[in-house]
Structure formats: C-alpha cells, structure tokens
Homo-oligomer: A and B are copies of this chain.
Amino acid sequence: MANQCVDTATLTDIFYALADPTRRDIVSLLGRGPETVSVLAAPFDMALPSFMKHLSVLERSGVIRSDKVGRVRTCELVPASLNDAERWLAEERATWEARTDRMVAFVEKLHQENTRAQGKRKRRQ
C-alpha cells in the first residue's frame, strides 16, 4: 500500500499516543520547552501514577523523551515524531486532492464536449 515512508509500527504508536486529550495537552505544554514531571503534572487533576502512565505511552511512541538527573525527571518533545504523523496525513491529502483534480478535469472536459456537440446540432438545425 502507499505511504510507507515511515515505519508502520512507529506511526501506529505515534497516533495511539495522540489519541488521548491528556497526552495531547502534554505535547502542547512541551512544545513551549522541556519541563520537569512535577511542573508538567501540576495542571492535571490526576493521580501521579496515572499521569506517569501517559508520559510512558508518549515516551514509548517516541513523541517525547525524558532524562533523570538526581531525583528530577525532565521531559522534552521529539518534534521529528510529530513530523512523521503530519507527513503521513499530508501524503494522504495529496492522493485525495489529485483524485479530486482529475475528477474536476474530467467533468470540465465532459462539459466542453457537450457544449461543442450542442453547438454543432444548433448549426445543423
């Protein structure tokens, strides 16, 4: 099938990671810069173990990475992973738009041929 430039398993993990509002909010927050887990978790009305599970899904998918120094874990976004997802969607859109363009061209050609045929009929009458 088309659009196989990115590893299929990776895309599956990325889209799964984004299929949750909390995880998308974490992505939005990390888009502004790296952040410690405790600062990241603060705005969420959620127990820390549940929040850590969301971070774990994001990290396994490659959407974020984290590093622990002493007792402080800091997370940061991996923009390349989101680019992969965006590229897949853009390629699907391109396929669909190319099809639509071909359909428009076909309908226009049909319309021109009909108009020409009507003109010929009128001249004969």
Contact = CB atoms under 8 A, between A and B. Distances in A.
Interface of A: 1-3, 8-9, 11-13, 15-16, 18-21, 24-25, 27-29, 31-33, 43, 77, 79, 82-83, 85-86, 88-90, 92-93, 95-96, 99
Contact of A24 (B11, B19, B25, B32): B11
Identical copies of this chain, number: 2
A72 to B, nearest CB: 21
B86 A31 contact: no
Contacts of A9: 21
Contacts of A33: 99
B25 A20 contact: no
B8 A21 contact: yes
